[in-house]
Amino acid sequence: MTKLFSTVDVARRLGVAEHRIRYAIRSGQLAEPRWLVAGKSIFSDRDVRRIAEHFNVPIDREKKNYE
């Protein structure tokens, strides 16, 4: 089963401010997530990895924050 995360979840998992993630999506620096639920962005693990790469967050840090 695929895990899905809200923008808040992704921000906490990566240690990146939520507004920075939203801005990167709005400005076209990051692709929009594939899923929207009730107008809210929903991210997959793959999306989280892509966002981590964009913000240069090491994958090791990302795993420690959320496991």
Q: What is the CATH number of the domain that holds 37?
A: 1.10.1660.10
pTM for the whole structure: 0.81
Q: Exposed e or buried b for every residue in 37-59, given b needs 16+ CB within 10 A?
A: eeeebbbeeebbeebbebeebee
Q: What is the pLDDT along the chain (67 residues), one digit of tens a residue?
A: 778 999 999 999 999 999 999 999 999 999 988 888 888 899 999 999 999 999 999 866 555 555 4
Q: How many domains does the chain have?
A: 1
Q: Are 12 and 61 in contact (CB under 8 A)?
A: no
Range of the domain at 19: 4-66
Of 42, 41, 63, which Cα lies nearest the Cα of 52?
Answer: 63
